[in-house]
Amino acid sequence: MSPGALPAGLSGNMGFIKSNNKSGKGLSSTEMVKQRTLKTSISCTGISLHSGGKVSMTLRPAEENSGIQFKRTDIAASGALIPATWNRVVDTKMNTTLGNKDGVTIGTIEHLMAALAGCEVDNALIEVNGPEVPIMDGSAAPFVFLVECAGVVEQPAHRRVIRLHKHVSVNDGERRASLSPGGGVSLGFEINFESPAISRQFFSLGLVNGAFKKELARARTFGFLHEVEQLWAAGLIKGGSLDNAVVVSGDKILNEDGLRYDDEFVRHKALDAIGDLYLAGAPIIGRFNGHCSGHAANNDLLRALFSDKEAWSYDAISVEEANSFSFQDEWLEDKPAVIAVTA
């Protein structure tokens, strides 16, 4: 697994905002893509990965333009609300943790955020009675199941998207991440581990036609046995087990049922990136590329994007444009010799 000023219009208005729109797309009189929320509330109970405690969570419908918000039900109401936005990220070590001005935090939010992104849920209130979202099985699949059970409904307001106008990247030695303009939503990821059970893996995907549920949702978080033992000794990942993570020891996978995908490791890193990038507050129309990056780089990338007003603009999209999204496999830097392509 892995505060600064809000962009104009991000606080209090998550709907369509015509902001320095350079594309002119999505502004015709044709039918526009609408915002979506849950049809009804739905709850689950699970284990917190890091604290090891039992936690309950309820996903609730939310009004249009409210975005995704977390609410700590074990905290006094005045300080319980935490917006799920990039500038609320307070920790990226081993997970993505959000915090508010009162110091209240909610951790391990990335898998749930990925599921909400993949299910195209724009507005929801997430109530949790502890400091972490339950880890469930270590993937986004249980959260996709919850959303599907609750159902999703359209709302009157137009769905807001973020259009990219220029290449934005962050680089920390071996760890790199970038966003580039493109017609649709796609991503590529590369990892490289010394472990022969993982080694070097590439993955590329266009998020169209239910691809998230089919190709990414079931990919679980993973770790190495020697690191797990060290973290346990340090009092961390108290809730971690083979029930909610893939554990690697040398060239062996310790989970009795093995892997869900041959390249489950790189797929999970891509899943994490989708969840972290949904903290932009809207879908990003363009291409994400990650190389050995993680939660820190994903958040740094959003900060770099929003600090450059020429790099992006808010827009809305028509149903016609959304249906025309195509997947172009583009690695704009350090293109690998072989790419696993799924669409």
Which residues are identified as catalytic? Answer: 295
DSSP string, 155-207: EEEEPEEEEE-S-EEEEETTEEEEEE--SSEEEEEEEE-SSTTT-EEEEEEE-
> For residue 153, what are its two tokens?
């409904």
Going from the C-alpha of 28 to that of each of 17, 24, 31, 64, the distances in angstroms are: 15, 9, 8, 21
Three-state secondary-structure class, residue 252: strand
The C-alpha atoms of residue 109 and residue 266 are separated, in whole angstroms, by 19
Q: Is 337 helix (H, G, I), strand (E, B) or coil?
A: coil
Coil vs helix vs strand at 329: coil
Would you tell me the crossing angle of helices 264-277 and 295-307 to the nearest 10 degrees? 40
Number of helices and strands in the chain (H, E): 7, 21
